[in-house]
Copies of this chain bind each other. A is one copy, B any other.
Amino acid sequence: MQSRIVEVRQGILKKNDLLAHGLRQRFEAANLFAVNLVSSPGAGKTTFLQATLTALHAHCRVAALVGDLATERDAERLARSGAPVRQIVTGTVCHLEAEMVGSALADWDLAALDFLFIENVGNLVCPASYDLGENLRVVLLSVTEGEDKPLKYPTIFSGADLAILTKMDIAEAVGFDREEALRNIQEVRPGLEVLETSARSGLGMGAWLAKLKDLKDTRDLKD
């Protein structure tokens, strides 16, 4: 039984990797920079993304996909930014897959976009294994979750390209130990860049937006 499960799982991941490769090629051909946001439920992905879309929408062409087991709530919240947003409802599936992203984008003109944000299902485990063709994978960690999370969920931190600490405005109120959190992130993923933000107070949002543009410009120059 066990070997058959492993075989089916490997088959799923292999198929996903092929589809993700195809998506990445489409994104590059369209000069589109794609970002995959992963975190626990409640880490503040939607609030962070809403602030990001609102800021970028003024001078860039941005869009978002958002994955949830149920409800269209996040798509409704994100659409307030003025950017086009589409919800992917996964049912009981605990992560987004490249195939879901491909289907959701089927009738979109990617060449008309500069940035695409993909908000994954809230889960610190399962999304780690599924490449969505993104150019940047960002893991968000809120100050309320505990400084030990990188050590306890190492796969998702070691597979990320950037870490973002969220809700920094309440760091003191919840007794967040910043040094320990940073040390734990470096332990599982040495050299990972970490930005400290609060979508509510605006802290660090400028640095994040500048970082995004830098990364896109660097990628575009390479093409």
| A interface residues with partner B (beta carbon < 8 Å) | 1, 4-5, 8, 11-12, 15, 40-42, 68-71, 73-74, 92, 94, 121-126, 129, 142, 144-146, 148-149, 151-155, 167, 170, 173-174
Contact = CB atoms under 8 A, between A and B. Distances in A.
B12 A69 contact: no
Nearest to A92: B155
B152 A122 contact: yes
Given A40-B40, A125-B94, A174-B170, A151 B4 contact: no
A148 B221 CA distance: 42
A149 B68 CA distance: 10
- Among A12, A41, A142, the most chain B Cβ lie within 10 Å of the Cβ of A41
30 contacts: A4-B8, A5-B8, A5-B12, A40-B40, A40-B42, A41-B124, A41-B145, A41-B146, A41-B152, A41-B153, A42-B144, A42-B149, A68-B152, A69-B152, A69-B153, A70-B151, A70-B153, A73-B148, A74-B152, A94-B94, A94-B123, A94-B125, A94-B126, A121-B125, A123-B126, A125-B126, A142-B144, A144-B167, A144-B170, A173-B173
A71 B144 contact: no
A151 to B, nearest CB: 5
B41 A149 contact: yes
A125 B92 contact: yes
Nearest to A146: B42
4 nearest CB pairs, A to B: A42-B145, A94-B125, A144-B144, A40-B41
Contacts of A1: 11, 15
A129 to B, nearest CB: 8
A140 to B, nearest CB: 12
A148 B94 CA distance: 17
A126 B126 contact: yes
A42 B12 CA distance: 29
Given A151-B73, A153-B41, A124 B125 contact: no
A22 to B, nearest CB: 17
